[in-house]
Amino acid sequence: MHRFLLSLIAALWLAAAAAAPASAQTDEKPDVRLPERRSVRVLLDWTPNTNHIGFYVAQALGFYDDVNLDVDIVQPGELDLKVIEAVESGAVEFGINYQEYTSFALAEGAQIVAVAAVIQHNTTGFASAAERNPLTRPADLADLTYYGGGSVAEAILSRLISCDGAQWGRRYAELGVVDMIEVLKEGKADFGWIYYGWEGIEAEFRGVDLDVIMLRDYADCIPDYYTPLIITSAEHVQNDPEVVRAFMHATARGYEVAIRFPLAAAELLIAAEPQLDAALVRASALWLADQYQGDAPRWGEQRAEVWQRFTDFLVESQLIGAPIDIQRAFTNDFLPGS
C-alpha cells in the first residue's frame, strides 16, 4: 500500500510539474545534481510535524536522491545541542529555527544564514480557552496569566496590548513543558502562545474551543516575521554552495508537493512518523497548504523589509543592542529560480 501511494503521488507531481509554466516549475536543472554522493543532516526544532513536511516529502519521493544527497532528519533529542549551536559548529548542515532567535545569535556574532522561510507569514497567536477567558482583542490579555515566559514573549505582549490601549500585567505561570491545551482547558494558566496550524487544530480535535489573537492580524503593531526558518552556517554557504543549492532545490520540491497535494504529503509524513495523530496531520497539512508560500513568488522567499522591521522591533524593545546586518542574515540565492 505504501509503495502504491508513493507511485501515485510521484505520478501526480510529475504530471502537475509538466503542466505548469516553466517559471513556476521547481524541477531540477541538470547542474543542480551533485557529481558525487554527499550526506547532510537537518536538525528539527521540535518533534516532527507539518512545519517539517517538505523534508519528509522530498525524502520519500526521491527528490534528495535526484540531487545525489543522503539526508538524515534529526530530532532534537538525538543531539545534545541547540539548533543554532549544532549548525554553527558543523554538527549538522541545516536546522529549523526562528527569526527572533536567529537575530539574537547574529547580534552576538554567530556565523549563520537563513536560507528559506518555511511559512511565509506569522501563523502564531495567543490563545485562551474560550469558555474560561473569552478574547476579542489584545487588551483582553492585559490581566490574564500567561503560560510561559521569556523576553520575546514579554516584549511582544507588552507592545501588542499597549497598541490596544491597555498595559500588560506581566503575570506568568511557569509550568515547565506540559500539554498547552490541557493547561488552558483546566485553567492552570489563562492563555499561551500557539502555532495555530498545529495546536489550534489539535484543540479542535480535542473539543477545546479556543479564542486566538493572531499576530498577523496586528502587523501594524507587531511586525511580521518568519517562523520557522531553515538555517545553515556561513561556512557551509562559503565552502559548499552547491550542496546548499542541491538541498534547497530538493526541499523546495517537497514543500511544493505539500502546497499542491496537501493530503498526499500528509500521508508521507504519517508513513515516516506513524506515532503522529494521522487526522491532525491531515487537517494541519490542509490548513498550511496556503500558508507555506502565501503571497510570495515562490516557496522559501524572504524579504529584506520583513527582516528590517522585526530587527527594528528587537532594538526598540532592547532585546538586541544594535541592528543586525540584514544582508548577512538571509539569502534567497539557493532557492529554485535564483
pLDDT tens for residues 114-153?
A: 999 999 999 999 999 999 999 999 999 999 999 988 899 9
Q: Which amino acid is at 148?
A: G
Residue predicted with more confidence, 176 or 230: 230
Read off the pLDDT band of 11 (50, 70, 90): low
* 41 phi and psi angles, rounded to 5 deg: -120, 140
Q: By the 8 A CB rule, do 95 and 42 touch?
A: yes
Phi and psi torsions of 12, nearest 5°: -60, -45
Amino acid making up residue 311: T
Between 172-186, 205-219, 258-272, the lowest mean confidence (pLDDT) is in: 172-186
Contact 137, 165 (CB under 8 A): no
Which strand ranges, in their side-by-side order, compose the sheet holding 210-214? 171-173, 145-147, 191-195, 124-129, 210-214
Domains in the chain, CATH or no CATH each: 2-119+226-329 (3.40.190.10), 124-218 (3.40.190.10)
pLDDT at 14 over 70: no
Q: How many residues does the chain have?
A: 338
Q: Which of 1-10, 202-211, 217-226, 287-296 has the lowest mean pLDDT?
A: 1-10
- Alpha-carbon distances of 229 from 40, 164, 167, 173, 296, rounded to whole Å: 17, 29, 31, 28, 15
In the chain, pLDDT over 90 holds for what percent of residues?
A: 86
DSSP helix/strand/coil, 128: strand
Q: What percent of the chain has pLDDT over 70?
A: 91
Q: Are β-strands 124-129 and 191-195 bridged in parallel, bridged antiparallel, or unpaired?
A: antiparallel
Average pLDDT for 274-284: 98
Question: Whole-angstrom Cα distance, residue 55 to residue 292?
Answer: 13
Return the DSSP state at 25: -
Beta-strand pair 112-117/229-233: antiparallel
What integer pLDDT is reported at residue 79 of this predicted model? 87
Residue 16 pLDDT: 53
13 has pLDDT over 70: no
Mean pLDDT of the chain: 92
The per-residue pLDDT for 24 is 45
Per-residue pLDDT at 8: 57
- Flag whether pLDDT at 176 surpasses 90: no
pLDDT tops 80 at residue 96: yes
Q: pLDDT for 149-167, tens place per residue? A: 889 999 999 999 999 999 9
Closest CA to 43 of 3, 89, 5, 78: 78
Residues 304-312: contacts with CB within 8 Å, 24+ apart? 306/223, 306/224, 306/225, 306/226, 307/99, 309/223, 309/224, 310/99, 310/100, 310/103, 310/223, 310/224, 310/225, 311/103, 312/223
Band the pLDDT of 9: cuts 50, 70, 90.
Answer: low
